[in-house]
């Protein structure tokens, strides 16, 4: 009898606590549902319609025709190709350089603290400001980069206007922007590795490179997974920086020169907000989500954090 009363009392108390927890979580839950779940579901609905904002009264349910349109849309293929190129370049090069930077910063001297601050500044700058600065650096005839190249005997390069160099030039700017941020996260990961492990490796005769490759890198796997995933998602959704760097005054889709820097999100933006075809734009955004989710799951399979 006493046990039953105790159980009932505990059950009532647990329910009360759960209710209070819900009360305190409710502001966030309401905001989450309104600003995250509802737009997601509404976007899914829109992707099955032909909504054109200029003729919104003519909206109709069109089933999967937006998704079948994606299959024959040459701009989708082109922009995906450009996005993959940009992602592979900026993530690949970015992670390698960030690892190198983190390894170099792994110390506690006064100089290292200043290096950390300086490296982080680009991450704090807005995309438009970065684009203005780098467009000036990349200027064809009078930019400082070309002046330096010509001073040492190299020819002038149309960095952002030549189809061969435009995307690599954009990748360099993207890597420069994220280097400090990625480097600091990896530095935190390196500094969390117990020094005894590295010391034991040294005692066993491992050189610095072997220790890095066989000790540091495997132990850095969870942090690397986070950094690579974060970088991949950011690169695949690249818009602001690329748009500001490459789009001319009279462009609709942008991606100059000759669409060589047109990314998927730039095309999605043009479809939804310039052509006002919101239904088709919603379908494109769901495809983007599916791609990012798929790649993240594959990445987790190979690099995912161990429990």
Partner 1 sequence: MKMRKLSRRMFLRLAAGTTAAVVLVGCQPATPQAAKETVTPGKPPAAEMLNLVFWNGIGPPEGILMQEFMNRWENTQPNVKLNQWTTDWDGFYTKLKLATAQQTLPDLAVIHPWRIAAYGDVAFKPIDSLLAAQSPITANMFKDVPWMAMQFKGKQYGFPMDNFLFALYYNVTILQNAGVNPPQSEADLVESANSFTQPPQKWGFAHPSGDGKGSTWDFTAWLAHEGQKGYISEDGTKAAFNNAAGLKAAQRMYDDEYTDKITPDPSRGLDSYQLFLDNKVAFRLGGTWEKFAFDSVKNLTYQSIVFTPKEPGTFGGSHNFVFTMANGDQRTKAAWDAATWVVLNCDTEWGIRAGHIPALIKSATDPAYLDASKNMPGHRDSVPYMIGLPKVAKLDEVEEALTSSLNEMFLNTKTPKQALAEAEAKVNAILSS
Task: Indicate which single residue of 44, 158, 185, 303 sits in contact with partner 1 (rule: CB under 8 A).
Answer: 158
Exactly one of 95, 131, 160, 244 binds partner 1 (CB under 8 A); that residue is 160
Q: Of the candidates 9, 15, 60, 274, which one interacts with partner 1 according to CB under 8 A?
A: 274
Judged by CB under 8 A, does residue 149 bind partner 1? no
Question: Near partner 1 by CB under 8 A, which window of 2-10, 116-124, 154-162, 186-194?
Answer: 154-162
Q: How far is the CB of 289 from partner 1 (least distance, A)?
A: 24
Q: From the list 1, 2, 58, 72, which residue makes contact with partner 1 (rule: CB under 8 A)? A: 72
Exposure string for 33-49, b = 16+ CB within 10 A, e = fewer: eeeeeeeeeebeebbbb
Q: What does the alpha-carbon distance between residue 149 and residue 165 come to, in Å, rounded to a whole number?
A: 15
The Cα 104–Cα 21 span in angstroms is 46
Task: Give the CB-side neighbour count of residue 88, counting CA atoms within 13 A.
Answer: 7
- Tell me the window of 39-47, 178-186, 214-222, 257-265 that interacts with partner 1 (CB under 8 A): 257-265
Provide DSSP, 212-227. Answer: IIIIIHHHTHHHHHHH
> Of the ranges 1-9, 67-75, 218-226, 287-295, which one interacts with partner 1 (CB under 8 A)?
67-75
CB of 146 to partner 1, least distance (A): 11
Cα 207 from Cα 198, distance rounded (Å): 10
Token couple for 19: 């209710």
Mention every residue, 6+ apart, whose C-beta is less than 8 A from residue 282. 43, 44, 46, 47, 66, 272
Q: The tokens of 18 are what?
A: 């759960």
Residue 4, interface with partner 1 (CB under 8 A)? Answer: no
Which residue in the set 257, 291, 295, 303 belongs to the binding site for partner 1 (CB under 8 A)? 257
Based on the shown chain and the rule CB under 8 A, indicate whether residue 48 belongs to the binding site for partner 1: no
273 binds partner 1 (CB under 8 A): yes
23 binds partner 1 (CB under 8 A): yes
Backbone angles phi, psi at 25, to 5 degrees: -80, -20
Grouping H, G, I as helix, E, B as strand and the rest as coil, residue 193 is coil
116-145 positions binding partner 1, by CB under 8 A: 140-141
């Amino acid at each position: 009898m006493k046990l039953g009363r105790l159980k009932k009392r505990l059950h009532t108390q647990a329910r009360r606590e759960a209710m209070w927890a819900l009360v305190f979580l409710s502001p966030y839950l309401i905001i989450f549902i309104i600003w995250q779940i509802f737009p997601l579901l509404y976007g899914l609905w829109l992707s099955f319609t032909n909504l054109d904002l200029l003729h919104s009264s003519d909206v109709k349910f069109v089933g999967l025709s937006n998704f079948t349109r994606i299959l024959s849309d040459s701009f989708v293929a082109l922009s995906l190709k450009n996005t993959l190129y940009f992602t592979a370049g900026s993530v690949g090069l970015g992670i390698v350089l960030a690892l190198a930077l983190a390894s170099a910063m792994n110390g506690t001297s006064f100089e290292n603290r200043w290096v950390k601050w300086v490296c982080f500044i680009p991450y704090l700058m807005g995309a438009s400001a970065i684009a203005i600065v780098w467009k000036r650096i990349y200027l064809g005839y009078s930019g400082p980069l070309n002046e330096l190249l010509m001073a040492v005997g190299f020819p002038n390069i149309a960095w952002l206007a030549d189809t061969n160099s435009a995307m690599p030039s954009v990748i360099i700017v993207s890597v420069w922007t994220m280097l400090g941020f990625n480097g600091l996260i990896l530095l935190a990961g390196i500094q969390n590795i117990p020094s005894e492990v590295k010391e034991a490796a040294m005692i066993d005769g491992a050189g610095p490179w072997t220790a890095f490759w066989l000790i540091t890198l495997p132990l850095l796997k969870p942090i690397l997974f986070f950094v690579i995933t974060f970088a991949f998602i950011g690169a695949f959704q690249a818009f602001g920086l690329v748009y500001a760097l490459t789009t001319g005054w009279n462009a609709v889709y942008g991606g100059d020169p000759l669409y060589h820097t047109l990314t998927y999100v730039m095309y999605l933006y043009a479809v939804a907000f310039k052509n006002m075809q919101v239904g088709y734009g919603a379908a494109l955004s769901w495809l983007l989500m599916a791609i990012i989710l798929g790649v993240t799951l594959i990445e987790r399979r190979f690099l995912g954090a161990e429990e």
